[in-house]
Chain A
């Protein structure tokens, strides 16, 4: 297992008022993303526990791209990864931002 942690400034606060949301499942080639609205509006953090060791640079690129596209200000993402491919990671992160923007608990 490898632990990775990224922090980025965000242009704007993420939409919605929901406090947290979760998407995905920890399985081979898949991951779960728990997103929580716990940070100042101009910050974003991603914490990863991954079963695939040695892919820090790929993660860094995927997350930089995600923050640029979605501007998830105020959100902390906690990831349990079962060895997902970068496109699956991008998809789950986007789903998490969308889910926390929806109405609900």
Chain B
């Protein structure tokens, strides 16, 4: 018999809850200290999209993103979580403005880190211009917040992955944690296939999609700092670890951005000629690279730790 629900500790609930399957609100409730989440502009305020009605499409009361503050192991944090099931977690005008506002608040306060639980296909097509502007505003707000000393951590493990403008924003974060089903890219599989043909990228080849954009590859390539198992508790521990790793604030600026550009240019020089992710892993010194996609999480984490982490100097 299973234990009555009140006998289960929050950590046990978080350990037993798939990050991938959970809703944005459930992710936040279990990621943060129990009962500490306070939402800004909650659903009862009905700040819905001003555009969807024009297209005769249903709205969601929170426009697909939960923003607020809470505590992580006692430390105050700002949080944002996208709901990947509402319009693919896509950025619209209100959705984007909520994240921009959160980052502005973080910049003003300076000492409170921000956790962003990405789950997005990119810009909401029905709000194209407003959505594109939102992406630009968020990136600017994030860079300004980081320049003011704020740590911004991205957590990626949702069903919509982190695509389009979401991929650009993730690239601006101080650090990222990703799980195997979490995918990070700008152009998604179907977009690449549509524009460049099936020989360039077969979007129906799930193994190809996962080893090109999935969490394992992003971790091995240095785009993500931590590979997390698909539980909310693992993401909680990853967030705590990253906040600890990032060290003292106030070191982000132009020099750091230049170092990051150099790191990316170097990565392109090293791996630009590779045809497949497996070639990259082999070039990185991974033995039996073709078996990486099948590795269980614990074995993969041990492997990734042997390969090492991206130098913190570049982010």
Given contacts A27-B85, A105-B38, whether A81 and B58 have CB atoms under 8 Å apart is yes
A22 touches B57 (CB 8 A): no
Most chain B CB within a 10 A radius of its CB, from A19, A32, A78, A81: A32
Secondary structure of the B side of the interface? loop
Which of B38, B43, B56 has a CB less than 8 Å from the CB of A22? B43
Given contacts A1-B53, A25-B86, A104-B35, whether A34 and B44 have CB atoms under 8 Å apart is yes
Q: Which residues of B lie under 8 Å from residue A26 when comparing CB positions?
A: 58-60, 86
A25 touches B58 (CB 8 A): no
Q: Which residues of A lie under 8 Å from residue B62 when comparing CB positions?
A: 22
The answer to the question of B61 belonging to the interface, with a C-beta cut-off of 8 Å to chain A, is yes
Residue ID in chain A nearest B43 by CB atoms: A22
Which of A22, A81, A104 has a CB less than 8 Å from the CB of B61? A22
Residues of B within 8 Å of A, CB-based: how many? 19
Q: How far is the CA of A88 from the CA of B42 in the complex (A)?
A: 24
Which of B35, B44, B56, B58 has a CB less than 8 Å from the CB of A80? B58
A27 touches B53 (CB 8 A): no
A80 touches B59 (CB 8 A): yes
Which of A25, A36, A80, A104 has a CB less than 8 Å from the CB of B23? A25
Residue ID in chain A nearest B35 by CB atoms: A104
Minimum C-beta distance from B286 to chain A (A): 38
The answer to the question of B83 belonging to the interface, with a C-beta cut-off of 8 Å to chain A, is yes
A32 touches B60 (CB 8 A): yes
Q: Which residues of A lie under 8 Å from residue B53 when comparing CB positions?
A: 1
Given contacts A22-B43, A27-B85, whether A49 and B58 have CB atoms under 8 Å apart is yes
Q: How far is the CA of A34 from the CA of B57 in the complex (A)?
A: 18
Minimum C-beta distance from B86 to chain A (A): 5
The answer to the question of A50 belonging to the interface, with a C-beta cut-off of 8 Å to chain B, is yes
A80 touches B57 (CB 8 A): no
A30 touches B58 (CB 8 A): no
The interface bits of chain A over 23-37 (1 if a CB of B lies within 8 angstroms of the residue's CB, else 0) are 001110010101010
Q: How far is the CA of A32 from the CA of B57 in the complex (A)?
A: 14
Q: Which residues of B lie under 8 Å from residue A22 when comparing CB positions?
A: 25, 43-44, 61-62
The interface of chain B, by Cβ under 8 A from chain A, is 23, 25, 35, 38, 42-44, 46, 53, 56-62, 83, 85-86
17 extra interchain contacts, Cβ-Cβ under 8 A, other than A25-B23, A34-B61, A50-B58? A1-B58, A19-B44, A20-B43, A22-B25, A25-B86, A26-B59, A26-B86, A32-B60, A49-B58, A49-B59, A51-B57, A51-B58, A78-B61, A80-B59, A80-B60, A81-B58, A104-B35
